[in-house]
Amino acid sequence: MTKIGSSETFYETIKDYTMERQNILCVDDEPGILGVLSEMLIEFGCDCEVAHDGLEALEKFKKGSFTIVITDLEMPKMNGMDLIREIAKEYPDVDTIAITGYNAKYQYTDLIEIGASDFITKPFHANELQAKLNRLIRERVLKTELTRLSMKDGLTNLNNRRSFDIRLREEVGRAVRQRYNLFLMLFDIDKFKNYNDQYGHQEGDAVLIAMTEVIAESTRKDVDVGYRYGGDEFALIIPQANRKQCKGIANRLCGNYERRNFAPTSLSVGIAKLEDIGENVKDNVSNLIRQTDEALYNCKRNGGNGIVFYGEDDHS
């Protein structure tokens, strides 16, 4: 069995990178060039839209998303150099290929310095364009997969602490702006060390891995997000919910875990609701984590195997 995060899994994911469908924006003030580019890209299996200058291209970005931009450099209204600079600043995940002429005044180093990913000279052959696109697409898939792996816990395949820190900042900022409830839940496995000592680390790992299914069975799909917070501690970010819904999620967590018969272990759960303390996102995040951690501590202090909301010392 291939372990999560192994090199076999990684290369299995990227080997068919050319099958990743791209949405490409072609920018040129010559209709003939745009027509040729469009035909080539469609033949390569890409989706394609066109713009006749840099300003029109930026307007296209407001209405849709693109993975790659192929742009001429000499155009009216906004030239390709300025367009590449703007894309690098506003859409850093988008790659750009600059089209230059043989007698172009632009150097390769100039283009790379402002953010272009590659360049191609006129006249160009379909094979050359396809080769450059394939390289870019492969690099994009590699980057995406590396980012994904860096956000995952290698044992459980849950999102990891790094992913948690990023997502919680985003959710807290959004909840404050849009004025909706946000809860944070921290829970850990009672007597986990004893279980490890009694049954061995392989069985202990099996308990941690089982938490992935427990979380999936207990939460709202595509709404609540679960994380391995560290060791035998886990976290849930619960947006747009009320206290009763959080209590229901916590009860399902405990019940679904108990049904797996990992005796003598159980779950302790701490929950806190986001309070806008009127400072900034960082302070709100720190305050929410502190309160949730305190709720979990109170649950453990009271013997574990229960649910405590912040501000309530007793099991709820």
**Whole-number percent of the chain with pLDDT over 90:** 60
Give the least confident one: 26-35, 59-68, 97-106, 197-206. 97-106
Q: Determine the pLDDT at residue 205.
A: 96
pLDDT at 19 over 60: no
Which candidate, 257, 264, 246, places its Cα nearest to that of 312?
246
How far apart CA 200 and CA 197 sit, in angstroms, is 6
pLDDT at 53 over 80: yes
Higher-pLDDT residue of 150 and 267 is: 267
Q: Where in the chain is the domain with CATH 3.30.70.270?
A: 161-309
pLDDT at 28 over 90: yes
| Band (158; pLDDT cuts 50, 70, 90) | very high
Q: Determine the pLDDT at residue 141.
A: 85
111-135, pLDDT tens digit by residue?
888 888 888 888 888 889 889 998 8
How far apart CA 62 and CA 64 sit, in angstroms, is 6
Q: Where in the chain is the domain with CATH 3.40.50.2300?
A: 7-150
Match domain 7-150 to its CATH number in 3.90.550.10, 3.30.390.50, 3.40.50.2300, 3.10.20.30.
Answer: 3.40.50.2300
End-to-end CA distance of the chain: 41
* Helices marked H in the chain: 7-14, 31-44, 54-63, 80-90, 108-114, 126-150, 161-178, 192-199, 201-218, 243-258, 281-301
User: 161-309 — its CATH code?
Assistant: 3.30.70.270
pTM of the model: 0.63
Q: Determine the pLDDT at residue 175.
A: 93
Contact 300, 313 (CB under 8 A): no
CB atoms within 10 A of CB 143: 11
pLDDT at 169 over 70: yes
Q: Determine the pLDDT at residue 192.
A: 96
How far apart CA 94 and CA 80 sit, in angstroms, is 15
pLDDT at 148 over 80: no
